[in-house]
Structure 1
Amino acid sequence: MFETLRDLTPKFESLFCDRYSVSLRNEANTVLKNLGEAIVGIFIELENRIRSDPVKAAVPGGRLHPVLRYVMNYLVLICDYWHTLEQVFEDYGHRLKEYHNLDDSVPSSSLLSLQMGQIMEVLDSNLEAKSKIYNEPALCCVFLMNSSRYILQKTKDNELGKLLSNDVIQNHEAKVLYNHEQYQKISWSKVLGFLKLDDNGIVPPNMVKKSMKKKLKLFNLLFEEICRVQSLWFVFDEQLREIVRVSIERNLLPAYENFIGRFESVLELGKYDHDKYVKYQMEDIVAKLDDLFQGSSGSTKAQN
């Protein structure tokens, strides 16, 4: 509507150029002004809606939150009107300056970029608050990983990515990495701890056998529980899912192989006792890890 009326204004003014049409021209200009201010108001309202979006029940499995999908898809779509929006904010951005207490030294030409950055900042804060709902810290990390990865996808190679500052993009790249590292630490450090070998020579041989049996039993229980729970969690991006799984394998598989090799040499087990204690072969470990982050049936749909 704004674009149509703006483009028709020169023809309108040339057609109704006499002194009897002053009120008509003024009315058209007022409508254009009202439309421009209404557009600016939409962006202010969007910021307020995000800020006030309530922290309710957690999204199951750390999936993408609906408010994130809505906001990012909306911002991508409005980039089709980018040049018009820059003009609108430059001409009618006084309301935005008042709302954010910006002084006149702030150039009107930068108001749209400033508002987009503000929307992203409020969205980040909202998602951080929503992540706190999860009782499991590792799932909180998965939720935030998903969120930042989605934002990066939505800002890649398009006008939205060009508009947002490099700080916004780099911030979410750093968040993906940080939450990935935190997830690894929270979920797998205890598991890896059970695979550490007592090589200091202080522990008597009979106690080494007892210690290794206990460690392997605890490893089996914890590994099985983590895989059972986290197979219900969901990482929407296949590439990110693979990155996380490979990083787990890189840490877990060598430690497990080393532990089992030492376990078998120390205990000199027969087949029956071997199968009793060694519940997982290497390929079983890999198969279990391949099931992580798949979510329940049908969960991989409707995540764009």
Structure 2
Amino acid sequence: MESIFESKYCTEMRESAVVLTKRLAQTAQETFGDFEEAVEKDATKTAVLDGTVHPLTSYVINYVKFLFDYQSTLKQLFQEFDEGDADSLLTSVTTRIMQALQTNLDGKSKQYKDPALTQLFLMNNIHYIVRSVRRSEAKDLLGDDWVQIHRRIVQQHANQYKRISWSKILQCLTIQGLSSSSGNQFGGDSGGNSGVSRAMVKERFKTFNIQFEELHQRQSQWTVPDSELRESLRLAVAEVLLPAYRSFIRRFGPLIENGKNPQKYIKFTPEDLERMLAEFFEGKTWSEQKR
């Protein structure tokens, strides 16, 4: 505009162009502000029953990717506000949109009655955000610190899921409370089980079976769409559950096997558990599982 309309007779046209550019920059800023607010307050009732990535998450991430397709234009507009620091303005806009999305996801996560599914939902969605950022130009603006912080948040949600879902069932496989006497539960260091109540061991196995079958039925219907994340979560559970179960069977299995109907109490081998864990987070319906 400056070069084409440089004559003194075009002053008004040049000034109008400057005013128009400033208005366009202002509108862009307002648009981002409106979008940020819309994301934070989005109240769509879309229920993600299996805890997978919410449509809002993928929509907002696509929006941010498009921003970076037009970043040279945006930076030109942002310079109307702050010459020489367009990068920080684009970073600020992106960060605020991401924060608005996370605030909304926190709200949506509270719709779940099962607190373990709340954690799985947040893990899935934050992981999707981090993975998308790492694969896009947004990574250069948001920086490694942002990525690392949010990777830790994903891990925290995974740990919380594990604690909420599995700590109760793991209590079944501990030695506490199995003694029928107040003395040494296991008859010294000989590894014998004198003082251990067979009835209580049976009760432990029954409780474990009920709880594991219930977890398997419910959580096989939940979804972790990222295969790497899904496998690492199963592995994290297996690393805690399988050694505890093997140890419990090795120690107390003989008490049951020498009695009546041992299969009524020892329903699963460790290999059965491992196979069933491989069906968790596949998003299968109950009818599919039965087939």
TM over 0.5, shorter chain: yes
Q: Residue type of the partner of 2:198?
A: K
Q: Which protein is richer in helix relative to its size?
A: 1
Q: Which residue of 1 aligns with 2:123?
A: 145
Instruction: Using the TM superposition, name which of 286-295 and 78-87 deviates more.
Output: 78-87
Distance change (3 Å), C-alpha of 1:262 and 1:65:
same
Please list the CA deviations of residues 113-147 of structure 1 after superposition, one character each: whole Å capped at 9, or x if unmatched. Answer: 12222222222211111111111110010011001
- What do the CA deviations read for 1:196-228 (whole angstroms, capped 9, x no partner)? 124763489575211100000000000000110
Counterpart selection for 2:41 from 33, 46, 52: 52
Q: What corresponds to 2:226 in structure 1? A: 237
Matched, 1:195 2:183: no
Equivalents in 2 of 1:221, 1:206: separation in Å? 26
User: For residue 216 of structure 1, what is the aligned residue in structure 2?
Assistant: 205
- Whether 1:160 and 2:149 are equivalent positions in the alignment is no
Structure 2 contact 119–157 (Cα < 8 Å) conserved: yes
Alignment match, 1:112: 90
Residues 193, 108 of structure 1: alpha-carbon distance in 2 compared, 3 angstrom cutoff: same
Which residue pairs with 1:179 in the alignment? 157
Amino acid at match of 1:201: N
Aligned equivalent of 1:288: 276
Q: What amino acid maps onto 1:217 in structure 2?
A: K
Q: Whole-Å Cα distance in 2 between the matches of residues 34 and 57 of structure 1?
A: 36
8 Å contact kept, 1:55–1:130: no
CA-atom RMSD in angstroms: 2.5
Matched residue SS, 2:40? helix
What is the count of residue pairs matched by the alignment?
274
Q: Secondary structure at the match of 2:273?
A: helix
TM-score by length of 1: 0.81
Report the alpha carbon displacement of residue 55 of structure 1 after superposing the two structures with TM. Answer: 6.6
Give the aligned partner of residue 97 of structure 1: none
Contact 1:194 1:219 in 2 (8 A): yes
Normalised by the length of structure 2, the TM-score is 0.85
Deviations 1:6-39 (A, max 9, x none): xxx35xx42x443443343344444333333222
Pair 1:253 & 2:242 matched = yes
Deviation at 1:148, TM superposition (A): 1.3
Whether the aligned pair in 1 keeps the contact of 2:75 and 2:86 (CA below 8 Å) is no
Distance in 2 (CA, whole Å) between partners of 1:186 and 1:58 is 22
Match of 1:91 in 2: 80
Distance 1:267 1:110 in 2: 67
Give unpaired runs (5+ residues) of structure 2: 187-192, 286-291
